[in-house]
Amino acid sequence: QQQVKQSPQSLIVQKGGISIINCAYENTAFDYFPWYQQFPGKGPALLIAIRPDVSEKKEGRFTISFNKSAKQFSLHIMDSQPGDSATYFCAATTWGYQKVTFGIGTKLQVIP
């Protein structure tokens, strides 16, 4: 049972375009939603995260949009660059609980 559903599994975007990755969750107890970025040969690293008391969080070219009523959140990468080519994982967890549940990942390729 996939608690965090992520789409698409792969994405090709032209340089300068907007990359959008979507996630949905079922468990209403989730209250922290991080995104991790993984380059080939490396472990995932925290990119950006949001709590459900805000609808949007922006850090540079990366923005998380959060829709609590729909139980959905998404990552937008503005002005996508070839250096953004990586696998992106959305995730969810609950305050005070160590376990993090990940989506299946999206392999992003930004082409020149």
Partner 1 sequence: DVKVTQSSRYLVKRTGEKVFLECVQDMDHENMFWYRQDPGLGLRLIYFSYDVKMKEKGDIPEGYSVSREKKERFSLILESASTNQTSMYLCASSLFFGGGNEKLFFGSGTQLSVL
Distance CA 112, CA 93 (A): 36
Site for partner 1 in 20-59 (CB under 8 A): 32, 34, 36, 41-46, 49
Per the CB < 8 A criterion, the answer to whether 18 and 77 are in contact is: yes
- Closer to partner 1 by CB, 83 or 99: give it: 99
Query: Which among 17-25, 62-70, 78-86, 101-109 is the span making contact with partner 1, rule CB under 8 A?
Result: 101-109
- Out of 19, 102, 108, 110, the only residue in the binding site for partner 1 (CB under 8 A) is 102
Distance CA 112, CA 104 (A): 26
Count of residues near partner 1 by CB under 8 A: 25
- Closer to partner 1 by CB, 66 or 102: give it: 102
Distance CA 109, CA 40 (A): 12
- Out of 73, 103, 108, 110, the only residue in the binding site for partner 1 (CB under 8 A) is 103
Per the CB < 8 A criterion, the answer to whether 24 and 101 are in contact is: no
